[in-house]
Chains A and B, each alone.
Chain A
Amino acid sequence: MAALITHSPILIIAIPLLAAFLTLPIGMASKKARNALVIVSLTFVAFLVFALARDISINGIHIYTLGATSPDLTTPTGFMVPVRIILEVDGMSILMGIIWSIVSLAAAIYSLSHIASETGQNRFYTLLLLMVTGGFGMMFTGDLFNLFVFLEIASISGAALIAFRTRSADTQEGGFKYIVVSAIAGLMVLFAIGLLYAQYNLLNIGALAQVIQYTTLDKIALALLLIAFAMKTGMVPLHLWFPDAYSVAPASITGMLVITSHACMYAAFRVCFTLYGGVIDAPVVGWILIVFGLLTMFVGVTMAVYQKDVMRFMSYHAISQLGYMWVGVGVGLAVLGNPALLATYGRDAISGGIFHILNHAMYKPLLFFTGGALFHYTGTRDLTKMGGLAHKMKWTTILYIIGTLSISGIPPLNGFSSKILIYESVFRFNPILTIIGIIVSILTLASFTKAFHSAFMGAELPEYKEGKEVPKSMIIAMMILAAGIVFITLFPSLIVDWAIHPAADALIDQGAYINAVTGAVP
């Protein structure tokens, strides 16, 4: 068990990779065996993630050096700086890892019946597992170039999955837009990494953070990294590709793509807080994040009210919710240089932003899955053609209501507990931010009521009289996420104390991240 935990960071990345290339030979022999392989490997990965989380909460940051004689040997004998690939898992990384393990497992279970009628399922699961690898890699790596590689792995497999259903033109268009945007964002990240490498000859984030100077080139690199990751996240006005790509993907993949967005957001936070943490012009960058965050919230939600396609509608909501996180963490970043303000409300703002990532990662895939269930039942994404579906889809309706109440921040549910953290801490920074946040929340509820009415309410329509509730595996996948929502709803302070505050402290405390790499010199 101890050895398993020691090696768990790389096992979490490598097991989906191994399973990805096993799906093809096994899937040719038996479909059932392949499905079992996918589910079992992802369950095992989820178990490893939770075991690692427990270890990190006890022993602090977990370091893993690839190819070394011992995993904690970060700097090889005879070298001054870390040269090997290093995985570094701290409180923030492991929180993202927990989210990703739950959502990817739910998405795989959902796919079992959502994809059942498509051809090329072996490839589908290969790509899905590769995407899982890419996501975990982005979250756990302590090396800038590795971040780029895993970003590209996640992007390429994601684009292929978006375009998986080749029958219709819009999937191809969505996949093409996603891959073009990803390729350009990825290349800009690489360019920025080159700028940093040219000055410091380092790629390790911790070692780089120790020597970084904030020269003009560093500023350009910061802007490139920040905006490239923000584009992958879907920040207004760089969100235009987001609904195009997310609305056409199979619903299980859309749920996972939301978390890859969060992974890019995590990378942006990592760059701002850890890489540039000591030297960054915190108020300016913080205000950039806040301004774009407000724009994201407001434009996202107003565009969502306008939509008539159920998946596009939810995609715009995903954009709008991402704005809350940018604002929360942006406020924290703006007061990073001021310990007094940071203690009064900065830490709470960052915690609220991160808590919102966790909550959003539970209810948004759930809503996308219900959207996929609607598509599964009706064969269309067009809300104007739907109506009266609650008569037939009882489980989907209940789960949709849970997701709706949660995303709108209706009090007993988890969406509210993170929003109140953001509102109250941000209010002390600038009251206008809270007011806009509340308006956006109201509009969110209004638009979800509209979608709920047009899809589920009303008399039973003659064209949907026939048909059954969606298959069991889809319901189970939605149930997993709904159970997560209920758990966070009932025990918000348990979650905040055990997961969110360590994550926020991991972002604020740059020194611990650096020491974990450079302090371990033998």
Chain B
Amino acid sequence: MTSILESGYAFWNPIIWIIAFVVVMVIVYFFRRRGQKQYKKDTAQARIFLCGEEVPEAGQRHIRVGNIYWGFFETLKEYYNQVLRPHTGIINDYILWFVAVTAISVIVLLIAGLAK
């Protein structure tokens, strides 16, 4: 078989996954078939129901990117403050990082060479 990928512990076969995926889709389709079909289009039956309140416009309704994962960023505020600090957008700083990392690598390699 050209699909079985042997790794150290086990094997990996996408075909099995695809078969499983197809089976799940068939089950989903079965449940979907059991739904109501008698509703009338373009009436109140097909409209969004929000506890009887007025439904906002499409632009108001959409959750924009800035509001997603608010809690995640709130929790990791400290981390983000730290990690955003080097991202200054100034080209001079970029080169400073390059010089620093090169210097560190040279020192590490030289010390590792001395240890032998």
Contacts and interface: CB of A to CB of B under 8 A. Distances in A.
B109 interface: yes
A417 B63 contact: no
Nearest to B76: A302
Interface in A288-318: 288, 299, 302-303, 305-306, 308
A388 interface: yes
A491 B5 CA distance: 9
> Which 4 A/B pairs are nearest by Cβ-Cβ distance?
A459-B58, A454-B65, A458-B62, A494-B2
B58 A492 contact: no
A461 B59 CA distance: 6
Interface of B: 1-9, 12, 14-15, 17-18, 21, 57-59, 61-66, 68-69, 72-73, 76, 79-80, 83-84, 86-89, 91, 93-95, 97-98, 101-102, 105-106, 108-110, 112-113, 116
A133 interface: no
A305 B72 contact: yes
B21 A412 contact: yes
A244 to B, nearest CB: 7
Interface string A418-432: 001100110010000
A425 B91 contact: no
A413 B12 CA distance: 11
A33 interface: no
Given A176-B91, A284-B112, A493-B4, A308 B65 contact: yes
Interface in A435-480: 446, 450-451, 453-454, 458-463
Given A417-B12, A451-B65, A454-B65, A238 B101 contact: yes
Contacts of B89: 240, 244
B63 A454 contact: yes
Contacts of A461: 58-59, 62
A492 B98 contact: no
Contacts of A226: 105
A303 B79 CA distance: 11
Given A227-B101, A458-B63, A450 B58 contact: no
A460 to B, nearest CB: 6
Contact of A308 (B66, B72, B113): B66
A305 B87 contact: no
A84 interface: no
Contacts of B84: 306
Nearest to B20: A412
A302 B64 contact: no
B69 to A, nearest CB: 6
A511 interface: no
A227 B105 contact: yes
19 contacts: A223-B109, A227-B105, A240-B88, A240-B93, A302-B83, A303-B87, A386-B65, A413-B14, A416-B12, A417-B5, A417-B14, A451-B65, A453-B63, A454-B62, A454-B63, A460-B58, A461-B58, A491-B3, A493-B3
Nearest to A281: B112
B105 A223 contact: yes
Given A284-B109, A388-B62, A420-B12, A188 B102 contact: yes
Contacts of A462: 57-59
A66 to B, nearest CB: 33
A312 B65 CA distance: 14
Given A303-B83, A388-B58, A227 B109 contact: no
A81 interface: no
Nearest to B113: A219
A294 to B, nearest CB: 14
Given A226-B105, A281-B109, A241 B8 contact: no
A241 B1 CA distance: 44
Contacts of A176: 91
A214 B14 CA distance: 45
A91 interface: no
